[in-house]
Amino acid sequence: MKLFVKYDINKACKMLLQEQLEKLGVAHSITAFGEVDIEEPLTGERMKSIGEALGHYGIEIVESQKSIIIQKIKDAIIEMVFNEDALPSSKISYYLSEKLGYSYGYISNLFSDATFTSIENFIILQKIERAKQLIITNEYTFTEIAWKLNYSSVAHFSTQFKNATGLTPSAFQRIINKRREAAGK
């Protein structure tokens, strides 16, 4: 039997982080997506044990300033794509600049140098992941999904979806539905 689930990745990560830090007895508060205020000084060994415990779940402690900014860029994009009811109508470059407090040129260059891809490509990949989740839930039409993700048209959405996945949104939906039918038998 297969069980199909819908989940909020940000909430799941936050809960996992909360549980692990409490289990380790670390006084903390989660201030933002990807940010935790530790309310006590930590020794190197304590930091290592926290890193190991979180690493088991694929959560890394980011230490260099450059890495911190890149992680904040990724977090802002993921939060924007996955948490908003609809993406901001303002330019994404303006949104990121305002959110992070750096010029878009600076964060764009920093991101490209470190990740070997552009912010735009990262956003497209996140939008496609979000689109997959929305298609799987069967709650929205392709037109509604395209609107939620700020595409100018369903055709534009379909083209980017196919470029990223190799499938059209309709083909992806058919595969999901066939898997559900097979699992139900």
**Beta-carbon neighbour count of residue 127 at 10 Å?**
24
- Written as six digits, the tokens of 107 are 């964060």
Domains and their CATH numbers in the chain:
7-61 (no CATH), 123-184 (1.10.10.60)
Q: What is the mean pLDDT of each run of 10 residues along the chain (185 residues)?
A: 74 86 88 80 84 86 84 90 72 90 94 94 95 92 93 96 96 93 77
Listed in sequence order, the residues at least 6 apart from 71 whose beta carbon sits closer than 8 Å to its beta carbon are 34, 62
* pLDDT number for residue 166: 97
Strand partners, 30: 36
* pLDDT number for residue 180: 86
* pLDDT number for residue 92: 86
* pLDDT number for residue 156: 97
Give the span between the Cα atoms of 66 and 63, in whole angstroms.
Answer: 9
- Written as six digits, the tokens of 127 are 């939008």
Give the span between the Cα atoms of 128 and 166, in whole angstroms.
Answer: 12
Listed in sequence order, the residues at least 6 apart from 114 whose beta carbon sits closer than 8 Å to its beta carbon are 66, 67, 70
Q: Is the CB of residue 40 less than 8 Å from the CB of residue 27? A: yes
* pLDDT number for residue 151: 92
Give the span between the Cα atoms of 81 and 70, in whole angstroms.
Answer: 17
DSSP letters spanning 85-136: SS--SS-HHHHHHHHHTS-HHHHHHHHHHHHSS-HHHHHHHHHHHHHHHHHH
Give the span between the Cα atoms of 170 and 152, in whole angstroms.
Answer: 18
Q: What are the C-alpha distances in Å from 161 to residues 22, 66, 123, 143?
A: 40, 31, 12, 13
Give the span between the Cα atoms of 158 and 141, in whole angstroms.
Answer: 12
